Amino acid sequence: MLSYEHDDTIAHRLDPRSKLAVQIAFAAAALSHTSGRALVALTAITALFLTVAGVSILRTLSAYRFALVIIAIAPLVSAATLGPPWIDVADGLESARAGYRVVLVLLVSAAYVRSTRIRDSRAAVQRTIPGKPGQLLGVGIALVFRFFPVLQADVRRIRQASAARLGTERGAIDRASHIGLLGLTRAFDRADRLSLALRARCFAWNPTLPRLSFTRLDAPAFAVAVALGAGTFL
């Protein structure tokens, strides 16, 4: 599983905002080109980012294996044609090249995930998006992070209890609505208790955030983001 890992790489020392800028610019540049030369350049940039963030390629690919299956199937479906010649290699290759850049985008985003703490991302979101939407998004991300494992345990308990009572023998709709209803009522019970606690602590639109600061290291990162962004229009 991909997650933040404590380390001291250059990527770890960058401000999350410059890393997000690089991510978005890279995705934009990758999604606007499929030529062979562009893919070679994008591969080189990806390799650089992965090295800078200390990412293991194999572990990352295995974390994204679900996405990779469809990316691998797409060229086969594209190449298959109804009627002679049955297999259109050029069509399949075009789709394979398009799929390859998606793999690069996923790899680069692993560099962000590995090198950025959730609370830093949250602060970056909250500082970059102005006003109440930014506040809600920032606090919301923090709450999702906090409650994700709690609700995972809830869902696990619901499924185990249901299996112990032969719930696995029931029809698919029955099972789906059982997990859906119980999962949601429990989550909403928690939400209502949480909102009471938030109100008791004067939940406000203007709380104090962790400090973020750009350093000299961020200048080259922003330069890369701008260059990649410009590359989108080449």
Partner 1 sequence: MATEHGAVEPVRDEIVRQFARAALLAALIGAVAPVSIPIPFSPAPITLQVLFVFLAGLVLGPVWGTVSLTLYLAAGAVGIPVFAGFSAGPGVLFGRSGGYLWAYPVAAGLIGLLVHRGTDLRAPADVSLPVLVGALVAGTAVIYGMGSGYMAWLLDMTVVEALMVGAVPFVPVELLKLVAAIAIVKSGRLQPVGT
Q: Which of residues 14-53 bind partner 1 (CB under 8 A)?
A: 20, 23-24, 27, 30-31, 34
By CB under 8 A, name the one of 144, 161, 226, 227 that touches partner 1: 144
Q: How far is the CB of 43 from partner 1 (least distance, A)?
A: 15
Q: Which of residues 54-73 bind partner 1 (CB under 8 A)?
A: 63-67, 70-71, 73
Q: In the stretch 75-94, what mask flags binding to partner 1 with x, by CB under 8 A?
A: x-xx---------------x
User: Quick check: helix, strand or coil at residue 223?
Assistant: helix
Size of the site for partner 1 (CB under 8 A): 87
What is the Cβ-side half-sphere exposure of residue 150, based on CA atoms within 13 angstroms?
12
How far apart (Å, rounded) are the C-alpha atoms in residues 52 and 98? 25
Region from 7-15, 36-44, 144-152, 223-231 binding partner 1, contact rule CB under 8 A? 144-152
Q: Which stretch binds partner 1 (CB under 8 A): 7-15, 36-44, 174-182, 220-228?
A: 174-182
- State the Cα–Cα distance between residues 21 and 222, nearest whole angstrom: 7
Instruction: Pick between residue 51 and residue 168 the one whose CB is nearest to partner 1.
Output: 168
Which among 53, 41, 52, 54 is positioned nearest to 104, based on CA atoms? Answer: 41
Task: Between 207 and 220, name the residue whose CB sits nearer to partner 1.
Answer: 207
Q: Is 107 in the site for partner 1 (CB under 8 A)?
A: yes
- Among 9, 41, 97, 128, which residue sits at the site for partner 1 (rule: CB under 8 A)? 97
Token readout for 54 is 């200390």
Among 10, 38, 43, 190, binds partner 1 (CB under 8 A): 190
Nearest residue to 128 via CA among 6, 18, 1:
18
Select the residue interacting with partner 1 from 44, 47, 57, 136 (CB under 8 A). 136
The number of beta carbons lying within 10 Å of the beta carbon of residue 213 is 6
Over the range 172-184, which residues count as b (16 or more CB within 10 Å of their CB) and which as e?
eeeeeeeeeebee
The three-class DSSP label of residue 21 is helix
Which two tokens mark 140?
């919301």
C-alpha to C-alpha distance for 38 and 101, rounded to whole angstroms: 10
User: Which of 198, 217, 219, 230 touches partner 1 (CB under 8 A)?
Assistant: 198
| Distance in Å, CB of 197 to partner 1, minimum | 9
Confirm if 19 and 115 have CB atoms less than 8 A apart: yes
